[in-house]
Structures are given as structure tokens and as C-alpha cells.
Amino acid sequence: MAAETVFVHGISSGAALALEAAARIPAIAKLAVYEPPFIVDRSRTPMPEDYMARLDQLVAERRNGAAVKMFMRFVGTPAIFTAVMPLTPVWPKLKTVAPTLPYDMTIVQDHQRGTPFTPGEWAAVKIPSLVAVGGKSPAWITNGTRALAGALPDARHQTLPGQTHMVKPQAIAPVLTEFFLNDH
């Protein structure tokens, strides 16, 4: 079977997962990540030491609503949204996927400590990479994406004006198309 060229894109914790895949899978030829939630400095409070244990316990106890609220508070969702969310039609869906939250947090937890990347940490990701961030995203995530672009051997950093962590498809699609099909 002939090897195929693969392009990989990930957003948020999916970006962290895509980075791990790119470090291990030779068929990946290009990587584009959008806002992996890495806390690399003191511009945001790091993950509390007991966060994963508390999240795991809530999920194990099937307290899915409490797990979603805990996650939302940690990622910086304004308190008013966290309070109102249970009254919205999306709430049952969020509670249904709550058991996946520990997986998301596991893939990012080592980079939620407020410390810089270790030297050479991303050396295995030698492929052309795009690290993007929204122009309206908070400083901590902008700092994390800049640090990541600087840590990857062949990366460029790009800001998408007017975007937040909830990037609009019409804003990111042309950037991905340009990178995957025309760059390098």
C-alpha cells in the first residue's frame, strides 16, 4: 500500500491532539492548529493541582451538569453564561458529552501549568505547521500560540482578525485552504 499524504487540523484540545499525532505519524505532511489551550506564562491562572481528580469524580458520580459547570468556569466562561446555560436547549447535549471532558483535559493538562515549553519538546514535529489564534482571544491563549509557533521547528503564527476561540468556519476555511494547498 502506498503512503498517503495527510494534512491535519485541530481546534482547542483537538489542536493538542493533532500536535501529538504529528509528532508520531510520519504520513502527516502539514499541520494547522487553532488555539491549543496552553497556559505558558502567568497571564492566566494555571490548572489547580486537584482539578483532574475533581473532574473525574464528578463524571464517575454521573454529576454531568456539575462537571460541565466546573469545566466552563475553568475555561473562563462568564458566570452569567454558566448560570443561564442549564436553561438553554444546548444544556442536555453538553451534559451528554460531559464524560469526554476528562479526555480533553488529559491531553492538555501538562501545558496548563503556566510554565514555558521545555526546550526541544516539539522537535519531532518537523513538518510545516500553522499556529493560528483569534484576534479577539485573551492574552493567555495568544501567548500560548506564539510560544508554540516559536517552539515548532517549521511553524508560522497567524492571527485571524475578529475571531475568538469559537472561530467561524468562513474565517478559518480560507486560511486552511491557503496553507494546505498553496504554502510550501
**Nearest residue to 159 via CA among 120, 131, 118:** 131
pLDDT digit string (tens) for 34-93? 999 999 999 999 999 999 999 999 999 999 999 999 999 998 889 999 999 999 999 999
pLDDT digit string (tens) for 92-112? 999 999 999 999 999 999 999
Q: What is the pTM of this model?
A: 0.90
Instruction: Decide: 141 and 35 in contact? Cβ < 8 Å.
Output: yes
Sequence-ordered strand ranges (E) for 49-174: 129-134, 155-160
Sequence-ordered strand ranges (E) for 88-163: 129-134, 155-160
> 155-160 and 28-34 as β-strands: parallel, antiparallel, unpaired?
unpaired
Share of the chain above pLDDT 90, in %: 93
Q: What is the reported pLDDT for 91?
A: 96
The mean per-residue pLDDT over the stretch 23-37 comes to 96
3-state helix, strand, coil in the chain (%, to 5): 50, 15, 40
Q: Which residue has the higher pLDDT, 2 or 35?
A: 35
Helix (H, G, I), strand (E, B) or coil at 52: helix
